[in-house]
Structure 1
Amino acid sequence: MSSMSRLPFLFIITGIFGFVLFHATSVMSLTGWIGEGIRGPTGWFHVHLFVLGWATMFAMGAVYQLINVILQSNIYSERLGYIHYFLFTIGLFGLLFGFIQGEISWIAGFATLAFAGIIVFVWNMAVTLIRAAKWNSITISTGCAVLYLLLTGLFGMAMGLDFATGWFGEFHENLFGAHIWLGTLGWFGLLITGFSYKLFPMFFLSHDYKTWLQYITVGLWNIGVLLGAISFLFGLHNIVLWISLLIIVLALVTYNIHLLQIRKKRHKRNPGAGISWSLYGNQVFAVFAVALLLKLAGSPDQLMNTKTMLMVGWVYLSGWVSFMVLCYSSKIVPFLWWTHKYGKQVGKPGTPVMADLLNEKKASLGLALIAVTNLSVLVGIALDSQIVIAISGVAFSLVSLAYISLIALVFSR
């Protein structure tokens, strides 16, 4: 394996391990952690394993690879990339162990290590982007996403400090809200939308489409994220939070319209199961977001209701963020592995094509089952039914494990 190709694989393989660990522990608990309340050691463990151990770990690997493709240049420092990996990975799994044990000092020490890894990552990406000076909707989205990841970590560290000292008092809740908002909508939201502008045209083979909607999406999304964070930090009325949500929903609708424009200009009818399902997932998520916005229009205070927050969190993190990562993994992993293993053998007899690395029909079936079982868990949450959550959650985890096994098997081709 070449030195330049090893870094993205480290993150992606570790992310797959985090995904497997999350679903294995969920099956063992019959997804009981969902009903026990998120704000406790068990909830913290599962949420951070899912968000950091799976989605963020995989996303960081994708950033290291795709940023080279987008900029047509190498990252600023590969060595810093390895330092980032070891700091973040050791810090993350130490943090998770601290949640299980309920040890504040253990949590604080390893959270600091993980945050140090994030700082290294942000510095590496910032210098890479500034030196390249190739500013477009993709690089702007990536840069903003990385900045929000840094702020998410900063507020998380502040919350940890407050647990140990009690310095911030009631302001802890403000930090918690900003931490969640910036991490979910800021980091993941802008990273997914930004990279979609590269992946969709690449696999649809689309040309000659207008890009101005991309900039409107980036602008609206940033305004919504910043306004929402300010609303949490300064304890503003929930109507301000609803307005920020309105702006993000407008960005989401604009984003979906643009994806349809890209598809319309395609020169390849079938872009693969992952891209097709990601388009469906984006559209369903947009419909849900509009429905939520309308539901909250009369009473914005409902957004902070525990059940509403749990449903919204499930739809956003599992139904959109994780689902998008799973969809894109079916294209990113085969592309990376084929380029690494067979890139120099193009044209030679017996060299497989990229399509040989992954069975598209099985991938499509896997994503369909994940979507259905994901919705079943949401129904269980809506009905407050632990039985439905348990049955649907186990089914969701089992089909997710089957799908990620399919992705992991690409490395054996």
Structure 2
Amino acid sequence: MSKMSRLPFLFIITGIFGFILFHATSLMSLTAWIGDDIRGPAGWFHVHLFVLGWASMLAMGAVYQLINVILQTTIYSERLGYIHYFCFTIGLFGLLFGFIQGEISWIAGFATLAFIGLVLFVWNMACTLFRAAKWDAITISTTCAVFYLLLTGLSGMTMGLDFATGWLGDPHENLFHTHIWLGTLGWFGLLITGFSYKLLPMFYLSHEYDTRLQWVTLGLWNLGVLLGAVSLLIGTTIWLTWTALVIIMLALIAYNIHLLQIRNKRHKKNPGAGIGWTIYGNQLFAVFAAALLVKLATAPDQLMDTRTMLMIGWVYLNGWVSFMILCYASKIVPFLWWTHKYGKQVGKPGTPVMADLLNEKKANLGLTLIACTQLAVLVGIALNSSWVIALFGALFSLVSLAYIALIALVFSR
């Protein structure tokens, strides 16, 4: 394996490990962390493991792999990418251990190391992006996503300093909400939408589709993220935050319409279960977002209600962000591994085709079960039923582990 190809694999394999660890620890606690402990050490542990150890880790690996295709240029510094990996990974798992032990000094030290890794990633991407041969909605979405990731890290570090000094006082809660907003809607939102503009046409073999809605989505999504971040940071009326959500909802509608445009221009009827599920997953997410906004229009104060926040967090992070990553992983991981292991053997007798690396029927079944159990856990959160959350949360973790094992087995083929 060449040095260049090793970097994305490091992030992807570590992300898979983080995913397994998240679901294993969730099984041991029967998903109890979703309840009252969400703002305590157990909740911090699981949320950071999921967001940083799984979703962000795999997303960074995908960025390192796909950046050459998207920007039509080489990465600024591969060596910096390795330094980023080790700083971020060691810092993250040290931070997680600190949450378990409740050691403030341990948390502070390793959080700083993880943040250094994050800054190195942002710098590496910024230098790479400035050399881009082509600036389009994909490039700009990626740039904005990386920018929001930096803001997320800065706000997180500021909160950490405030835990030690207490100098912020009441605004700490405002910063906490802003930190979540920037990381979820900013970093993940713009990265997923931007990369989808490249990945879906690639796997559907789509051509000659209209790209104007990419710019509409990009503009509305950024406007919503910035407006929401400002409203949460300065603590203005809840209606301003609701307005920001409406703007992002409009972006989501434009995004879904554009995905259908891409699918309608396809030259490949069946691109695989994972790609098919990305369309369904995006549509289901848009339906939930619309229903939430209608509900909040009559009672906007419910947005900050603990149960409402849990429902939103579950649907957004598990039902959309993680689900999209799992869908794309069913195509990206086999593609990367086949290219690495068999790319130079094309046409030779006995060389497997890419479709041989992953059983599509099993992948489809796995994604179906993941979607169903996720919805069941959402019902449990809505009903405030601990036994429904425990039962279907355990089932959700079991089918998720089975699915990620299917993905991981690609590396053995």
Under TM normalisation by the shorter chain, which class is it?
over 0.9
Paired letter, 2:315:
V
Secondary structure of the residue aligned to 1:270 is: coil
Name 1:267's counterpart in structure 2: 267
CA contact (8 A) 2:41 2:102 kept: yes
Name 1:158's counterpart in structure 2: 158
Instruction: Render the CA deviation track for 1:326-347: whole Å, top value 9, x for unaligned.
Output: 0000011001101111111111
Distance in 1, matches of 2:205 and 2:282, equals 19
How many residues get paired?
Answer: 413
Secondary structure of the residue aligned to 1:38 is: helix
Instruction: Render the CA deviation track for 1:131-150: whole Å, top value 9, x for unaligned.
Output: 12421111110110000000
Secondary structure of the residue aligned to 2:209 is: coil
Instruction: Give 1:159-308 correspondences, 5 Å limit.
Output: 159-308=159-308
Name 2:16's counterpart in structure 1: 16
Secondary structure of the residue aligned to 1:157 is: helix
Distance in 2, matches of 1:7 and 1:111, equals 22
Name 2:393's counterpart in structure 1: 393
Distance in 2, matches of 1:291 and 1:373, equals 20
Q: Determine what percentage of the aligned residue pairs are the same residue.
A: 80
Name 1:71's counterpart in structure 2: 71
Q: State yes or no: 1:86 paired with 2:86.
A: yes
Distance in 2, matches of 1:385 and 1:258, equals 38
- Give 1:69 deviation, angstroms: 1.4
Distance in 2, matches of 1:43 and 1:78, equals 34
- Give 1:129 deviation, angstroms: 0.7
Instruction: Render the CA deviation track for 1:365-393: whole Å, top value 9, x for unaligned.
Output: 00000000011111111111111100000
Distance in 2, matches of 1:47 and 1:392, equals 18
Name 1:339's counterpart in structure 2: 339
CA contact (8 A) 2:19 2:54 kept: yes
Distance in 1, matches of 2:72 and 2:410, equals 26
Name 1:33's counterpart in structure 2: 33
Name 1:137's counterpart in structure 2: 137
Paired letter, 1:175:
L
Name 1:376's counterpart in structure 2: 376
The worse-fitting range, judged by mean Cα deviation, of 94-103 and 131-140 is 131-140
- Give 1:73 deviation, angstroms: 2.4
Instruction: Render the CA deviation track for 1:259-317: whole Å, top value 9, x for unaligned.
Output: 00000001010010100011100000000001111111122111011110000110000
RMSD value over aligned CA atoms?
A: 0.6
The worse-fitting range, judged by mean Cα deviation, of 63-72 and 321-330 is 63-72
- Give 1:208 deviation, angstroms: 0.4
- Give 1:37 deviation, angstroms: 3.1
Instruction: Render the CA deviation track for 1:6-47: whole Å, top value 9, x for unaligned.
Output: 000000000000000000000000111111231110000000
Distance in 2, matches of 1:104 and 1:77, equals 34
Distance in 1, matches of 2:239 and 2:233, equals 14
Gap runs ≥5 in structure 1:
none
CA contact (8 A) 2:72 2:133 kept: no
TM-score of the superposed pair, with normalisation by structure 2 = 0.99
Distance in 2, matches of 1:253 and 1:335, equals 30
Q: 1:40 to 1:48 in 2, by over 3 A?
A: same
Name 2:326's counterpart in structure 1: 326
Secondary structure of the residue aligned to 1:110 is: helix
Secondary structure of the residue aligned to 1:132 is: coil
Name 1:364's counterpart in structure 2: 364
Distance in 2, matches of 1:398 and 1:359, equals 19
Q: State yes or no: 1:7 paired with 2:15.
A: no
Distance in 2, matches of 1:291 and 1:319, equals 15
- Give 1:229 deviation, angstroms: 0.4
Distance in 2, matches of 1:271 and 1:231, equals 41
Paired letter, 1:10:
L
Paired letter, 1:307:
R
Distance in 2, matches of 1:67 and 1:213, equals 22
Instruction: Give 1:44-55 correspondences, 5 Å limit.
Output: 44-55=44-55
- Give 1:253 deviation, angstroms: 0.6
Q: State yes or no: 1:126 paired with 2:136.
A: no
Distance in 1, matches of 2:384 and 2:300, equals 22
Secondary structure of the residue aligned to 2:37 is: coil
Distance in 1, matches of 2:341 and 2:354, equals 11
Paired letter, 1:58:
L
Q: State yes or no: 1:309 paired with 2:309.
A: yes
The worse-fitting range, judged by mean Cα deviation, of 247-256 and 63-72 is 63-72
Runs of 4+ in 1 over 6 A off after TM superposition: none
